[in-house]
Amino acid sequence: MTLPLTGPTLSPKSGRPARQAVILLHGLGADGDDLFGLAPYFAEALPDAEFFSPHAPFPCDMAPFGRQWFSLRDYSQEAMFNGLSEVRPVFDAYLDAVLESRGLTEADLALVGFSQGTMLSLHGALRRSRPVAALAGFSGLLVAPDRLVAEITARPPVLLIHGDQDPVVPFGALDLARRALEALEVPVTTLSRPGLGHSIDEEGLSGAIRFVAQAFDKKQA
């Protein structure tokens, strides 16, 4: 089966057929190659996982290079929600194609996002018909949480990681997302990283790897 988005992939380190799939979702102005460097670190803890790092479908409209999942020229909640709603069918089709092509289900799927990729992961995963095994998001935010009250259909375990010196996505977005998700009974854990900007550090990466590995272990126990 041809996947609706392209991007680098990494086969299971074990050499066996994939028992899990981990999808890495990059931020604004980057592409799938940007987060793909995380895959080998996750693979150490998840030898039977296959890794996918798709390129977002649209050219970045704020830079002469890179890709975007949706435009951020207008940073209002309404504009971001509309952008996410427009790209969500592409996102869902990609997840469905990965699962079908590997004979897996949502219980075998984890999402790992950075910045805009975290926004997309949260927006899409909470509206899937079935919950994914885990969602780990770096330096993102929950767009239009008020809309979730009527639209939420899945409650996957979520880990949100954010540097307290982030100059791009305010650190306060971490607590806002946590409170909104807790109110909707989504199991959410947060990890703040002192002194970190809009980036991923070793401690945050280690936390995400542990979180995803433990979530898969619970699903397969």
Instruction: Pick the catalytic residue from 31, 34, 108, 166.
Output: 166
Tell me whether residue 115 is one of the annotated catalytic residues.
yes
Decide: 102 and 50 in contact? Cβ < 8 Å. yes
CA atoms lying within 13 Å on the CB side of residue 176? 13
* Identity of the amino acid at 196: L
Can you say how many angstroms the Cα of residue 66 is from the centroid of all Cα atoms in its chain?
18
Q: Could you tell me which of 86, 23, 17 has the C-alpha nearest to residue 212?
A: 23
Instruction: Pick the catalytic residue from 53, 71, 115, 121.
Output: 115
Tell me whether residue 123 is one of the annotated catalytic residues.
no
Instruction: Pick the catalytic residue from 48, 55, 192, 198.
Output: 198
Residue-wise DSSP of 24-71: EE--TTB-HHHHHTTHHHHHHH-TTEEEE-PPPSEE-TTSSS-EESS-
Tell me whether residue 162 is one of the annotated catalytic residues.
no
Q: Is 7 left (phi over 0), alpha (psi -120 to 50) or beta?
A: left
The burial of 42, by beta-carbon neighbours within 10 Å (0-12 exposed, 13-18 middle, 19 or more buried), is given as buried
Q: Is 101 left (phi over 0), alpha (psi -120 to 50) or beta?
A: alpha
Q: Give the C-alpha separation, 216 to 129, whole Å.
A: 19
Q: CA 106, 200, 80 angle in degrees (round to 5)? A: 65
Residues noted as catalytic: 115, 166, 198
